[in-house]
Structures are given as C-alpha cells and as structure tokens.
Amino acid sequence: MSTDTNRANGAVLCELCGVEDSTVLYEPGVAQKNRIVRCNRCGLMYANPRAAVDADLIAEYVDDPDLDLSKWQPQLYEKQTTQIHDYAGTRALLREWHPSRGKLVEVGSSMGQLLKTLRDDGWDVHGVEPDPNACRYATRTFGIPTTADTLEGARLPSASADALVMLHVIEHVPSPVNTLREVHRVLKPGGTFVLETPRYDTLMFKLLGRRERSLGCDGHIYFFTNDTLRRAVELAGFQLLRQDAVGRSMTLDRLVYNVGVISRNRWIQGRLGKLSRALRLQKLRLHLNFRDMQRVYLRKPLTRPPG
C-alpha cells in the first residue's frame, strides 16, 4: 500500500477531515472500478478519484410509463419484499417514539414496499426515489405519493418531517455530510432519522478483503465503520440514540448469487445461477446476521447547540 497525496485527476477530499491524506487500499479494478483509499487521519474509506459518480444520479434512469418494475426487475422486487420483516423492530421503535405518528419520508423508497407497511402503522408517508419507474409503481400499486428525484433535488420544506428513513443510500451519494445536513434541515426538531449502510470494521471484511460483496459494488463510493459513521452524523448535527449491527433476510437464491459475486469468477457465477434455478432456491428464505451492516437511530435536537 502507498500514501496518496496527489489531488490530480478528480481527487476527492475526505468528507470528515476536509483534507486529502490517504493510503491506497485497492487500485482501480481490484475491488471495484474505483480506487479505494483510507484517510490517514480519521479512517474513512472512500473512492478516490471517482469514475463518473458525481454526475446527476437521475440520468441513469429511463422514464418508461409502461414499465412494471416488479416484473422487469423481479430479483430486486423479491429482495425488498423479503426484507420487510427485517424492519419490524424499527417500526416498533418509531411507534414508541412517535405515538401520534406524523409525516414520515423515506429517501430511496424504491417500489414502496416498506412505506406501505409504515403507512399501515398510521404514518403519513412520502417517498423520494430517483427512479421514476419505481415511483410510478409505488403510486399505482400502493397509492403512495412520491417524488422522482434525489433528496437534494426534491427540495422538501424545512422542518416538515417527523421521521425520515434512509436505507442503503448514504454509501452512494457524492457528499454524505451534505446529504445528512439536508436530512437535518427537513426534519422537525426532535425528529427521528433511521439510517442503514454496510460497515467495514467487521470480521467479514477482514476475511474477504477485496472480495467483500458490498465493497465490490461499483455504485458504492463511501465505506463506513461504526466510528466514521458516528463522526459523519455528528458533523451534520444529529444526536445518536442507538447503533445496531444487523443482518438481513434473503432467499437462498440470493445467498447463492452473493457467493458468486464474492468468487469474482464468471464461470462460478454462471454455474451457481443454473444450480439455483434448477433447485428453485428462490422459494426458500433465511435470515443471516454477519454484523456487516449498521442501522443507526438519530435525533435532531430540539434546540441548536450553543455556539
């Protein structure tokens, strides 16, 4: 590994420190398309430089009014539907902390499955999702109002939400701290923010290294540990209520697919895919917790801190 001090070619400063003093962990093409570095001051891992990730996030989506996303991307639909159960505890906490409910926004709401369950709990829900086809599905299928945009582009009113949920979004955005500050602006004082993202201070990351599944996703450009995520949310002005290491439910078909991704071998991926289809593994479900994801519960303070 080498120390990176060159700011040429679109290099990015550390979000937490505001400087570039980093050690190269993986060169481009080793873990994913981007080079991945770790800040020598705070330990934040991030893509630096980046391969066309700062472009408008909406540009990659094609708006097709006739597209049924649940049928066009059945694996995604099945994955999100399967994982609804994983948030039963989160729903219970939100009911406890907000007995009168109120306005709840999900950023990255996709096809609306989770928002539908939250609406069933009595929340007035709204989705923000850059994929217009996913927004259209949520509205047509569940009657959920959505905004086809990023959080920043949606320009939601200040202090308008009692709760905000953002699951597996923060690792994709160009500036996590700025996005967190936008969440802070949108929430009412005393509002609750639920944030989930992969974590990289785990046994799985130590064992798998460059083969770790979430690290290899080209869309991920920030890679948080418990400590660096705490620093990011504190910079945005949030109070930490609790921080859980969580897993997720998945079909056995999805587990086999993830094994193929970890292998980084197209032949193995193909063989596992054929085996999965032959055995109809998509019908079998399980819950795994390798403690490789973190779910944090945050609060916007009722008053501004002094100074």
Read off the pLDDT of each residue in 262-282 and give the average, rounded to a whole number: 73
Which domains are present in the chain? 1-51 (no CATH), 55-248+293-299 (3.40.50.150)
Asked if pLDDT for residue 205 goes beyond 80, the answer is: yes
Residues in the chain: 307
pLDDT at 52: 56
pTM of the predicted structure, to 2 decimals: 0.90
pLDDT, tens digit, 9 for 90 and up, residues 162-179? 999 999 999 999 999 999
Tell me how far apart the alpha carbons of residues 148 and 115 are, in angstroms, rounded to a whole number.
15
pLDDT, tens digit, 9 for 90 and up, residues 208-227? 999 998 999 999 999 999 99
Asked if pLDDT for residue 307 goes beyond 60, the answer is: no
Percent of the chain clearing pLDDT 90 (strictly above): 69
pLDDT at 144: 98
pLDDT confidence bin for 296, thresholds 50/70/90: very high
pLDDT at 287: 82
Residues sharing a CB contact under 8 Å with residue 98, sequence separation 6 or more, in sequence order: 162, 163, 192
Query: How do strand 187-198 and strand 124-128 relate by DSSP bridges?
Result: unpaired
DSSP three-state, residue 184: helix
Instruction: Kindly write down the DSSP assignment for every residue of 103-162, as one continuous string.
Output: EEEEET-TTSHHHHHHHHTT-EEEEE-S-HHHHHHHHHHH---EE-S-HHHHTPPTT-EE
Q: What beta strand segments (E) does the chain contain?
A: 3-4, 22-26, 36-39, 45-47, 103-107, 124-128, 146-147, 161-167, 187-198, 222-223, 239-251, 285-299
Tell me how far apart the alpha carbons of residues 168 and 56 are, in angstroms, rounded to a whole number.
18
pLDDT at 279: 67
Tell me how far apart the alpha carbons of residues 182 and 188 are, in angstroms, rounded to a whole number.
12
**215 versus 75: which is more confidently predicted?**
215
Read off the pLDDT of each residue in 114-138 and give the average, rounded to a whole number: 97
| 33 DSSP 8-state letter | S
Nearest to 115 by CA among 106, 213, 287: 106
Query: What's the token pair of residue 65?
Result: 């009014």
Under 8 Å between Cβ of 131 and 69: yes
Dihedral class, residue 19 (left if φ above 0, else alpha if ψ from -120 to 50, else beta):
beta
CA 93-173-131 angle, to 5 degrees, is 80
CA count, 13 A, side-chain hemisphere, 304: 3
Read off the pLDDT of each residue in 269-294 and give the average, rounded to a whole number: 77
